[in-house]
Amino acid sequence: MTLHSSHDGGRLVLTQGRLTLREQLPDDAAQLADGKPASLVWIDGVPGDGTSRAASMTVAAAKAGVYQPGWGLFAVIRTEDGVAVGGTGFHGPPDHGSVEIGYDLSESARGEGWATDAARALSEWALAQPEVMVVLATTEPENVASQAVLERVGFTRVADRGELWAYELTSPPA
């Protein structure tokens, strides 16, 4: 399925079939970090805790002057109705050819393939950027669902990072 990228009001928007990833700029991220919907309709009313924590990373990067558009948080949105089902994004801009991703789904959206679709689309976009050669992700050893997402996308487990299991992807996902 083809990944389409566009911009809407300065935001990067990635669309692939049933999935739309809409960048959350620092002002939106500040609202999400406070658990507010940030002008989005959320499947469970508000963003999940993981999405709020990721939004805090975008806010902190903006305050530190290191935020780079396109390399922060994205809302995971159902294309058909515009409802946000979670968040995904980067832990920061590329560093020495690599970038790390993360994802979080609202409770009501789990088990329907949204995390797999989001990780696939985000990784595909990242690997198409000239400054990215590797996409990284980490999970806690007991997070079997997240490990399955990464394996479905095509990530390979590599050397652990402390107590976290580490995965990498070096070619566009299938």
In a domain, 10, yes or no: yes
Domain span holding position 94: 4-169
Digit-coded pLDDT (tens) for 83-138: 999 999 999 999 999 999 999 999 999 999 999 999 999 999 999 999 999 999 99
Digit-coded pLDDT (tens) for 24-53: 999 999 999 999 999 999 999 999 999 999
In a domain, 127, yes or no: yes
Read off the pTM: 0.95
In a domain, 16, yes or no: yes
Distances (CA, A) of 78 to 71, 142, 172: 21, 28, 22
In a domain, 87, yes or no: yes
Q: Which residues contact 142 (CB under 8 A, 6 or more apart)?
A: none
Q: What pLDDT is stored for residue 172 in this prediction?
A: 86
Q: What pLDDT is stored for residue 129 in this prediction?
A: 96
Number of structural domains found in the chain? 1
Rounded Cα distance between 136 and 76, Å, is 19
CATH number (domain holding residue 98): 3.40.630.30
In a domain, 174, yes or no: no
Average pLDDT, the chain: 95
Contact 50, 35 (CB under 8 A): no
In a domain, 23, yes or no: yes
Among residues 127, 3, 150, 118, the alpha carbon closest in space to that of 54 is found at: 118
